[in-house]
Amino acid sequence: MDFTFTEEQQAVAGIAARVFADLATTERVKEVERSADRVDRRLWEALAAAGVVGIAVPEAAGGAGLGMIELCLALEQQGRRVAPVPLLWSALGAMALAAFAPASPWPAAVVAGNVILTCALAEPGAGDPSEPAVDAVPDGAGGWLLTGVRPSVPYAHVAARVLTPARAADGLVVVLVDPTGPGVSAAGAEATDRQLLTHLTLDRAPAETVVGPDAGASALVWIRQRALVGLAALQLGVASEALAMAAAYTSGRLQFGKPLSSFQSTSARAADAYIDTQAMAVTLWQAAWRLDRGLDAAVAVDVAKWWAAEAGQRVVHATQHLHGGLGADVEYPVHRYFLVGKQLEDTLGGGSAHLARIGAALAAAPR
């Protein structure tokens, strides 16, 4: 397998890097964290104008028609700046609608930057992702009425619609629900990384069909796999940038007249963190590559998310420790990388959950 990026992919990464570097400065991220909705609207508009939001949305919906690799390249740059924008969730919602409901007007609106979509994929506790805690009954007009809970929905407080799975009598469905519509009550919560999440309680809330029960289960797999790979891309960016910050700090910080980076214990821990980031990268790109080529990616996706969870948390711990007392300063940038890394570690399942899925797949494989 050749992991060399094409010129087009390198261009995508370059554009995303410039937009995030120019607008998602440390001071700007702090400013947005103090705002009411904690979303950088100026950055979001710039990403839409640069075509980044629609990078993996089909051309028919106004997007660039590229794939998960290109979206992940952009998400990696977002992770490097810990930028507070809903790029993964809104792009994924638009991609899913374009794939499964091509007549929907929402993808074009997302690409233009006019609306934000999000996806409700988390389940209460250790819930099975294939068994959503929402029941759906037909409304008699081609739609559904939903009853149940959707916990920890990212960016639902600024989203026009939420894409969510639900259980119907004859199978899973994937639907769109208005988070401010009738039958929906919302309770806000602050996540580990200071982003705002929303717990939605649905009581016969009307919803629009995206995928019916005949293909709902396979559509949920499609959506969830891309969400997990996107999270792994964000974590790669977070870990890589945090490690770069630690390298710069330990090279400039003197102890006993020598740079901290020259001490064996420091260099060994940094080397371990570097190896972890390389493992995160290779498993991420393998999973994204398989998704883009329509290959079976089930195990590859779980492997990528396992490395993002386990290695990602090791890296953000190491980089904070390598900063010494400065790493505990909540105003110093590396602390924010630690918080974001911890949040990404457990989003849609921590390392143990994905390791169990990998083990089950290996046990079921023919010998």
We report the CATH number of the domain holding residue 100 as: 1.10.540.10
Same domain, 92 and 141: no
**Distance in angstroms (rounded) separating the CA atoms of residues 199 and 182:** 15
Distance between first and last Cα of the chain: 24
Instruction: Give the single-character DSSP code of 61.
Output: G
- Name the pairing type of β-strands 144-154 and 161-168: unpaired
What are the strands, taking DSSP E only, across 183-312?
184-190, 196-211, 254-255, 258-259
Instruction: Give the single-character DSSP code of 116.
Output: -
Residue 48 burial by Cβ neighbours in a 10 Å radius (0-12, 13-18, 19+): middle
Q: Which of 190, 212, 234 is the C-terminal boundary of a domain?
A: 212
Same domain, 227 and 208: no
> In 3-state terms, the chain is what percent helix, strand and coil (to 5)?
55, 15, 30
Same domain, 63 and 93: yes
pLDDT of residue 131: 92
Q: Kindly state the helix (H) or strand (E) to which residue 118 belongs, with its residue range.
A: strand 117-119
Same domain, 195 and 281: no
Residue 160 maps to which CATH number? Answer: 2.40.110.10
Same domain, 134 and 107: no
Q: What is the 3-state secondary structure (H, E, C) of 172-193?
A: EEEEEECCCCCCEEEEEEECCC
Domain containing 184 equals 119-212
Same domain, 351 and 235: yes
Q: What is the pTM of this model?
A: 0.97
CA angle 148/150/156 to nearest 5° reads 135
Same domain, 245 and 306: yes
Cβ count near 25 (within 10 Å): 13
Same domain, 176 and 283: no
Query: pLDDT tens per residue, the chain (367 residues)?
Result: 667 899 999 999 999 999 999 999 999 999 999 999 999 999 999 999 999 999 999 999 999 999 999 999 999 999 999 999 999 999 999 999 999 999 999 999 999 999 999 999 999 987 788 899 999 999 999 999 999 999 999 999 999 999 999 999 999 999 999 999 999 999 999 999 999 999 999 999 999 999 999 999 999 999 999 999 999 999 999 999 999 999 998 888 777 778 877 788 889 999 999 999 999 999 999 999 999 999 999 999 999 999 999 999 999 999 999 998 888 888 889 999 999 999 999 999 999 999 999 999 999 988 8
**Distance in angstroms (rounded) separating the CA atoms of residues 205 and 353:** 31
In a domain, 319, yes or no: yes
Same domain, 222 and 344: yes
Same domain, 24 and 66: yes
**Distance in angstroms (rounded) separating the CA atoms of residues 329 and 289:** 39
In a domain, 2, yes or no: no
Same domain, 228 and 349: yes
In 3D, which of 82, 77, 74, 73 has the Cα closest to residue 26?
82
Same domain, 26 and 70: yes
Place of tokens 């797949």: 361
Q: Which of 68, 84, 115 is the C-terminal boundary of a domain?
A: 115
- Name the pairing type of β-strands 117-119 and 161-168: parallel
Angle formed by the axes of helices 7-23 and 68-81, nearest 10°: 30
Q: Are 133 and 148 in contact (CB under 8 A)?
A: yes
**Distance in angstroms (rounded) separating the CA atoms of residues 26 and 155:** 21
Q: Quick one: how far is CA 144 from the chain centroid? A: 27
